[in-house]
Structure 1
Amino acid sequence: MQACWLVLALTWMPFAHATPLRVISLAPHATELAYAAGLGPNMVAASAYSDYPQPAQSLERVANYRGVKLERIIALQPDLILAWRGGNPPKPLEALAELGFTIRYLNPDTLSDIGQFIRELGHYSESPDIATRNANAFDQKLAQLNAQYRSAEPVPYFYLLSDTPLMTASNRAWPSQLFRLCGGKNIFADSPAAYPQVNMEQVITRAPKVLFHTGEQLPDSWHSMAELLPKATRQFTWSLNPDWLTRATPRALNAAEQICTALDEVRQAQ
């Protein structure tokens, strides 16, 4: 047991460097977690769409949906690479690992993982108190929302991910955790696919009481389909911030607060 704890301790010991640690992030949520952990001064490059916090916008881009710039990453000689298993292509990362680069995969399964990731990354920071403060704030806010909505009346909802084709998110998908936190009942919870393609007849039959979507307004093609829904459902239509909803970062709880407010309005109207 002592040997096990020693291995864990060594795994998360800060690097001893004469020069500042150099960090590259290959996913937007990993970039945000790095800043939350106090690694902002250490960031030398990031992926496309790493737009939060504001300083991340000026970082060199070394990854996008097409892949990663392997040669450029090697040239930058990072001490730590933050990656996303499933979101980044495996072969370039395997090549980087074989060359001796340290890669930390940040693949969250639950909301509580966010605070844990921040704490772990704080071990690499010269200001670990930043990570501790941000992780504690996240955990406290999550606990407060859990306590507030643990016994809330379930509200059936439909999350419109795409209108052509008509797609949503099942309980296997990351965003569904935020809806469940607030007492949302996913009408497509049991779909075997994380992001299933559905049809309007299924949506109507399952009778959602509220509709969520991302973006400033609903797609034009949705409006003709929505006329088939009950008027009460069309009344409760909410737009969510896509970055808050889909990224596993502290701002995910901002999306949860949006959702909780919407579901509370439905409950009050019943």
Structure 2
Amino acid sequence: MFIHRIHLLLLLMILPCLTIAAPPVQRIIALSPHVTELAYAAGLGSKMIAVSDHSDYPPQAQSLPKVANYKGIKIEKVLILKPDLVITWPDGNPPRELQKLQQMGVQTYPSQIHQLSDIADNIEALSQYADNPEIGLENARQFRQQLAALRQRYQHTRKVRFFYQLSEKPIITIARNSWPSEVFEFCGGENVFKESAAPYPQVSREQVLLAQPEVIFNSHHAIKNMDMWSDWSRIPAVRQHHVWTLHSDWLNRPTPRTIRAIKEICQYLDTARQNN
């Protein structure tokens, strides 16, 4: 009897320390194109059941149902699909709709990326939901490794003054600390509008002329009139034919493919250095 009481007492002491393991995550939704790409990089491809509009990479994501776009999140569609996890984009998804999902008991993971190192950090964090976390951990390791190699290669290069055009009418650019400014700075780009008070300032052609950039970057995604600077030869970039079109998905989506954007920009900046 005494021994049984001891066993009971020990059991009562241990029970509060025991935790019930959460059921594995099997059904995942991503609410932005870059979040979709990060999820696949983390090894979650087989668990994806829905994504946002324009989630076109990797290709297998294109056939999944779409439950979000620039207008917002289709809450009813999300709930009907009964996800175990929704990967959100707090900087882009409407806060009120994200709050609704949480109030309805939907488990969410907020993917926040403000600098290059956050890409690998997000992949590592998401890999915890994969059946094989090593896939995500390896992809994160490779990203950091490639980033370190590029940093070592370009850390002592001459600065090149650039202007990055996000749109045509109105002309919008980026300031310091706004994505993807770090991508340009990585290999020696110096943003001519880096000191602007607004993160994405609106500028005029005359302001670009006064700034005298050595390079102008744009993209087919944002600019319809690719010849809009052709008659502004007083701008060094135009005069020296340093107006280049970038692959917008590589640059504007913070994912492992950002490495490709860095390499592309670095090659163009190297060309500008050689021509000056």
TM-score by length of 2: 0.88
Of the three residues 75, 82, 90, the one matched with 2:87 is 82
How many angstroms does 1:226 deviate by? 2.9
Aligned mate of 2:36, from 31, 46, 61: 31
Q: Cα deviations across residues 217-257 of structure 1 (Å, max 9, x unaligned)?
A: 76156135534424764411111011111001011111111
Q: Say if 1:226 and 1:234, in contact at 8 Å, map to a contact too.
A: no
Matching residue of 2:129 = 124
The one-letter amino acid of 1:27's match is S
Residue 240 in 1 paired to residue 246 in 2?
yes
Structure exhibiting the larger radius of gyration computed from Cα positions: 2
5 Å-filtered alignment, 1:61-72, equals 61-72=66-77
Runs of 4+ deviating beyond 6 Å: none
Kept in 1: contact 2:163–2:191 (CA 8 A): yes
- Supply the RMSD in Å over aligned alpha carbons: 2.0
For 2:268, the equivalent position in structure 1 comes to: 262
Unpaired stretches in structure 1, ≥5 consecutive residues: 1-9
Write the deviation string for residues 108-130 of structure 1: whole angstroms up to 9, x where unpaired.
11100000100110000001111
Distance across 1 between alignment mates of 2:152 and 2:98: 40
Q: Secondary structure at the match of 2:202?
A: coil
- Identical columns (%): 42
**Structure 1 residues 15 and 114: alpha-carbon distance in aligned structure 2, compared to 1, 3 A threshold:** farther
Q: 1:178 aligns with which of 183, 188, 191?
A: 183
Corresponding residue to 2:23 among 4, 16, 19: 16
Aligned-residue offset at 1:50? 0.5
Q: Distance in 2 between matches of 1:109 and 1:233?
A: 34
**Distance change in 2, residues 1:145/1:220 (3 Å):** closer
Q: For residues 33-69 of structure 1, give each alpha carbon's deviation from its aligned partner in whole angstroms, at most 9, with x where no partner exists.
A: 0000000000000000100000000110000111111
Q: Does 1:190 align with 2:189?
A: no
User: Secondary structure of the residue that 1:249 maps to in structure 2?
Assistant: coil
In structure 2, the CA distance between the partners of 1:193 and 1:23, relative to structure 1 (3 Å rule), is: same
Q: State the match for 1:134 in structure 2.
A: 139
Amino acid at match of 2:242: F
Number of equivalenced pairs:
257
Letter in 1 for 2:28: V
Q: Is the 8 A contact 1:163 1:221 kept in 2?
A: no
1:208–1:233 Cα contact (<8 Å) kept: no
Structure 2 portions without partners, runs of 5+: 1-18
CA contact (8 A) 2:41 2:135 kept: yes
CA distance in 2, matches of 1:127, 1:70: 30
Quick check: 1:111 aligned with 2:116?
yes
CA–CA distance in structure 2, aligned partners of residues 246 and 83 of structure 1: 17
Report SS of the residue matched to 2:109.
strand
- CA distance 1:100–1:68, change in 2 (3 Å): same
Is residue 2:222 matched to residue 1:203?
A: no
